[in-house]
Amino acid sequence: MTADSARSDQGSAPPPPTATGKGPGRAANGHRAWFLVLPALIPILLLSVGPLLYGIALAFTDAQAGRTDPTQWIGLLNFQDLLRDTLFWESFRIGLVWAVAVSVPQFLLALGLALLLNQNLRFRWLSRALAIVPWAMPEVVVGIMWRLVYHPDAGLLNETLGTHRDWLGSLSTALPAVVVVGIWARLPQVTVTLLAGLSNVPRELHEAAAMDGAGAWRRFRTVTWPAIRPIALAISALSFIWNVNSFALVYVLTGGGPGGRTRLPMLFAYEEAFRYGQFGYAAAMGCVLVAVVSILLAVHLVARLKGDDDT
Amino acid sequence: MSTRLTARRRRMGTRTARRRAARTGQYLALLGYLVFLAFPLLWLVSTAFKPPRELASLHPGWIPDHPTLDNFRQAFDEQPLLRSAGNSLIASLAAAAITVVIATPMAYVMARHHRSPLSRAATGWIVVSQAFPFVLVIIPLFLVLKEVRLIDSLSGLIMVYVVWSLPFALWMLAGYARAVPRELEEAAAVDGASRARTLISVTMPLLAPGIVATALFAFITAWNEFFFALVLLKSPQKQTMPVILTHFIGAEGVADLGPLAAASLLATLPSLVLFALIQRRITSGTLAGAVKH
């Protein structure tokens, strides 16, 4: 709410005469604005919005790879099949478990780290510098790196623990092992975002609260959290979505194995589409994912607006 | 008097003790964080320089006893690394250049007319695009690109990369454009400069650092990208570096660890260097900025 009102304040500043002033100049400017927008708008419509709509349409067809007879409209048949596809629901369940198991600890860790890195500690520069490395790495390399760590023979983890486990290959440890990598991979994005949010926290307010004898937890709840709340909600929603849509990391780490234990929905849909050529069916999976993510996002946004009304 | 003083001193004593304990806790937490972050990285580096005999030994140490560059040589022998790096470079450079060229004007309009329906729609689209499951976009894109024979071609991939990095580029650039003071543009207009002239000689120079940062970010995004490249590029001589890296891991998951680590390090270097250059701009100017405004 505060962000929005700040925005409209900015917008209601007296417009420069040449840019948005009333009269003929404004109309001409409007035309120019369209001209400036077209180079980006056309590719967006052609390669993003278009394919998205086409993708939704595909979900209602029997489109397949290498098909000779024409693709047919089959209504809800794909979705009916999906309902009965236990493998899909299993992967859907794994996807949700994965997204929650990664996002929640990731957020809490990142929040702790951001508070820590906001303090005047030694080695803070080193931590900040290191913190962004995972962000810069290709996901494929992150996956490869952790394969080396989890390696049954030459792995760092077994070497440290003195064990000989196949962490990624056994049914019980595969998903937790992959979750740890998921947390590691995006920790910097969340941490750095929250750290930027902390720069919003009014220092005087913090000091005043400390003078009044408020403890650390109280200061956090009454001063810090309200200030970083919008950013915290935005980044937690984003990271959840990123995790639901994860592909490369798990593809490299386990390929979805063992026994489908780490087969996230994206891996499932990828295989369905590009290994078995079931384009229509895979598109239906995509639709279900979009629907679920949208619902979760809507709930999140409603919670956000509600919270803003309270304050 | 004296008792009150000692009581006070004692109270202060417990407070400093508590503060010291808190400090220790903080440093321990920081240490744990550094270990969690750094150990996998160090292990990757260490593996890349280990000779095969040490990799096969039961207790591979942290520091290779006989560090070697053989893994790097072998990596180049096993897979077309150089060509894939070239492909990645072409795709990333082209994607970054095209992205900023088409995004800058629109971002400027979004920043200056941010209450127009167009800007609102664009902002909405940017948010929504973050939630796209890639499958839903890649299947139709695959079919369309196949129809126009752009499958297995870098041009097709570049087109996809441009559209893929556009939302974030617009987001970043609009933030930078908002930071360019209107007053300067107005002053130029008052001095009689035409609108185009004002844009070119006043706005653009001020926007330049933001454009460079955005271009570098788009470059890194494309350089690191895997999913689209995996789906769209089939022949090994066309594939980009992340896809080639997965070829080191065989079908059964067996891999030559040394060359795998070496090639992975090489693939990371460019984005790491660029990221270090623009780190501060990215961390301060992106999401937080967007939420703040």
pLDDT band with cut points at 50, 70 and 90 for residue B139: very high
pLDDT at site A305? 67
Task: For residue A200, give the 3-state DSSP assignment.
Answer: coil
Q: What tokens appear for A210 in the block?
A: 């400390």
- In chain A, what is the straight-line distance between the N-terminal and C-terminal CA atoms, in Å? 10
pLDDT in tens, B45-98: 998 998 887 877 766 777 887 888 888 998 898 888 999 999 999 999 999 999
**Residues in chain A within 8 Å Cβ distance of B257:** 148, 151, 154
pTM for the whole thing?
0.86
H or E stretch covering B3 = helix B2-48
Is A238–B287 a contact, with Cβ atoms under 8 angstroms apart? yes
Does the pLDDT of residue A94 top 60, yes or no? yes
For residue A175, the Cα-to-chain-centroid distance in whole angstroms is 19
**Residues in chain B within 8 Å Cβ distance of A186:** none
Q: What tokens appear for B240 in the block?
A: 């980009």
Q: Do residues B288 and A193 touch, judged by C-beta distance below 8 A?
A: yes
Q: Do residues A115 and B26 touch, judged by C-beta distance below 8 A?
A: no
pLDDT band with cut points at 50, 70 and 90 for residue A162: confident
Q: Do residues B222 and B95 touch, judged by C-beta distance below 8 A?
A: yes
Amino acid code (one letter) for A279: F
> CA-CA distance, A21 to B34, in Å (whole number)?
55
Q: Do residues A61 and A71 touch, judged by C-beta distance below 8 A?
A: yes
Task: For residue A165, give the 3-state DSSP assignment.
Answer: coil
Q: Do residues B227 and B134 touch, judged by C-beta distance below 8 A?
A: yes
pLDDT band with cut points at 50, 70 and 90 for residue B286: low
pLDDT in tens, B172-208: 898 888 888 888 888 888 888 888 888 888 888 889 9
Per-residue DSSP letter, A220: I
Q: What share of chain A is helix, strand, coil (3-state, %, to 5)?
A: 75, 0, 25
pLDDT at site A59? 92
Q: Which of residues 75-134 of B touch A (CB under 8 A)?
A: 101-103, 105-106, 108-109, 112-116, 118, 125, 129-134
Across the strands, what pairs with A61? A73
Q: What share of chain B is helix, strand, coil (3-state, %, to 5)?
A: 80, 0, 20
Considering only CA atoms, which of A81, A83, A72, A114 is closest in space to residue B29? A114
pLDDT in tens, A38-86: 888 888 888 888 988 999 999 999 988 877 777 888 889 999 999 999 9
Q: What tokens appear for A184 in the block?
A: 């590691």
**Mean pLDDT of all residues in A179-204:** 89
pLDDT at site B161? 94
Does the pLDDT of residue A4 top 60, yes or no? no
Please indicate whether residue B82 or residue A29 has the higher confidence score (pLDDT): B82
Is A140–B267 a contact, with Cβ atoms under 8 angstroms apart? yes
E strands within chain B? none
Output phi, psi for B249, to 5 deg.
Answer: -90, 115
- How high is the mean pLDDT of chain B? 85
Q: Which residues contact B254 (CB under 8 A, 6 or more apart)?
A: none
pLDDT at site B53? 79
pLDDT at site A227? 87
Cβ-in-10-Å burial (0-12, 13-18, 19+) of A171 comes to: exposed
Name which of A6-20, A38-52, A232-246, B65-79 the model is least confident about.
A6-20
> CA-CA distance, B30 to A121, in Å (whole number)?
9
Does the pLDDT of residue B132 top 50, yes or no? yes
> CA-CA distance, A17 to A27, in Å (whole number)?
13
Q: Which of residues 187-216 of B touch A (CB under 8 A)?
A: 189, 195
Please indicate whether residue A303 or residue A145 has the higher confidence score (pLDDT): A145
Is B284–A146 a contact, with Cβ atoms under 8 angstroms apart? no
H or E stretch covering A252 = helix A248-253
pLDDT band with cut points at 50, 70 and 90 for residue A23: very low
* DSSP codes, A287-299: HHHHHHHHHHHHH
Task: For residue A270, give the 3-state DSSP assignment.
Answer: helix
pLDDT band with cut points at 50, 70 and 90 for residue B10: low
CA angle centred on B111, ends B106 and B117, rounded to 5°: 75
For residue A275, the Cα-to-chain-centroid distance in whole angstroms is 26
What distance in Å separates residue B208's CA from the closest CA in chain A?
A: 17
> CA-CA distance, A54 to A261, in Å (whole number)?
31
Interface membership of B287 toward A (CB under 8 Å)? yes
pLDDT at site B231? 94
pLDDT band with cut points at 50, 70 and 90 for residue A31: low
Q: What tokens appear for A162 in the block?
A: 């003195």
Would you put residue A221 in left (φ > 0), alpha (ψ -120 to 50) or beta?
alpha
**Mean pLDDT of all residues in B284-289:** 51
Considering only CA atoms, which of A97, A98, A100, A114 is closest in space to residue A188? A114
Considering only CA atoms, which of A295, A142, A74 is closest in space to residue B261? A142
Is A121–B220 a contact, with Cβ atoms under 8 angstroms apart? no
Q: Do residues A258 and A170 touch, judged by C-beta distance below 8 A?
A: yes
pLDDT in tens, A139-159: 999 999 999 999 888 888 988
Does the pLDDT of residue B1 top 60, yes or no? no
Q: Which residues contact A19 (CB under 8 A, 6 or more apart)?
A: A29, B112, B182, B185, B186, B189
Q: What tokens appear for A270 in the block?
A: 């990828």
pLDDT band with cut points at 50, 70 and 90 for residue B284: low
**Mean pLDDT of all residues in A170-181:** 94
Is A44–B226 a contact, with Cβ atoms under 8 angstroms apart? no
Is A137–B272 a contact, with Cβ atoms under 8 angstroms apart? yes
Between the alpha carbon of residue B186 and those of residues A23, A28, A133, the distances in Å are 17, 17, 42
**Residue in A12, A47, A142 to test binding to B, most B beta-carbons within 10 Å:** A47
Q: Do residues A235 and B287 touch, judged by C-beta distance below 8 A?
A: yes
> CA-CA distance, A272 to B140, in Å (whole number)?
14
